[in-house]
Structure 1
């Protein structure tokens, strides 16, 4: 079974090399639905090429976009209109968050790059009263439910790639050129640590090897 699954994953990797699509960007519209129609200051941690930061800027007074990779930050600046209320900064999620309180903090596929509980504690410190934190993360498959959801996502993943590329070969989006790292925590471990740092946080497994976390500051 393991050998068969490995073959399927390798075939899927070859397919996505021809028909790539950004699994993280798939959740951007969902993230926006968790947020108010208008808000003041926003922080996007692990901002990559700036796709989500630009969406947030349509609602926010200003957006701070933070990413540890200087190359992708430079590219994000190039892709963003000079008049957009976004400041792109090279920095670490634990030590370089621009000072102040934020009405919205988002973090997509980046929190597993740093110590998890420490990162959530930093986000909590910088979240304004009544503010909203939204995390889309990746976890290590461990439970039967994890493996079942992952298996169900394989055909849907291929279908989405075909639909998003309209059946045509394509180059990798800029958003997919940032460095990546495999997840080491299981979903159950994530839930346990998150609820210690953020009591009442809402976490859910999602398709395409992702989970979501939503929390509001009191």
Structure 2
């Protein structure tokens, strides 16, 4: 698995670097076949992976990794706990972003950290990023190959990069928004105590 590469896996190390050292419980929303959840489990004792796709969860459960995998809608499922860390990579555009951010906020413990890597719909102002990203992706594919994940996809994303930035800033005061070169953005937020 260390050899796998795609646009989402590229940002896993960024997500993992944000895990607080004292985190005890983590949630991976849209976990797919569990690659990020398994990496989180190396840092956090209790990890829950949630995804709506039964086939993806079936693949995840084939690993003996001590992770609780759930086929459910993260926006409505009763997790019966809160989390020190919430990660979501390439899943937010599958659902209503405002509802998801509010839900993640409610699931995150005060002082907890949330990292979202998402896709957004480009506009004309994003053309330079998109062109640079296409070149960078091509270089990565030549040197690393490309792993096509088995999970369902959703295109086009409903939110643009600008609207996602505004929405996150409104719902998560103090959020750090970053636009990334490989057609992704990230949101990093520490919930106030």
TM-score bracket for this pair, using the shorter chain length: over 0.9
Runs of 4+ with deviation above 2 angstroms:
none
Of the two, which has the highest radius of gyration? 1
Is the 2:89–2:116 Cα contact (8 Å) retained in structure 1? yes
Structure 2: distance between partners of 1:163 and 1:199 = 39
Matched, 1:109 2:82: no
RMSD: 1.4
Residues paired across the two proteins, number: 188
| TM-fit CA distance, 1:190 | 0.5
Q: Contact 1:57/1:63 (CA < 8 Å) preserved in 2?
A: yes
Tell me, yes or no, if the aligned pair for 1:66 and 1:97 is still in contact at 8 Å: no
SS of structure 2 residue aligned to 1:200: coil
| Whole-Å separation in 1 of the counterparts to 2:84 and 2:151 | 26
2:42 aligned partner: 58
- Matches for 1:152-167 after TM superposition, within 5 Å: 152-165=132-145
For the Cα contact (< 8 Å) 1:91–1:97, is it kept in 2?
no
- Secondary structure of the 2:104 match is helix
Task: Please tell me whether residue 192 in structure 1 is matched to residue 166 in structure 2.
Answer: yes
**Structure 2 residue matching 1:39: 3-state secondary structure:** coil
The gaps in structure 1 that reach 5 residues or longer are 1-19
**Alignment equivalent of 1:202, drawn from 172, 176, 192:** 176
The TM-score with structure 2 as length reference comes to 0.93
Higher fraction of helix: 1
Residue 125 in structure 1 maps to residue 109 in structure 2 = no
Q: Distance in 2 between matches of 1:25 and 1:119?
A: 22
Give ranges in structure 2 of 5+ residues lacking alignment. none
Deviations 1:165-201, CA, capped at 9 Å, x for gaps: 3xxxx7x44xx11100011211110111111111111
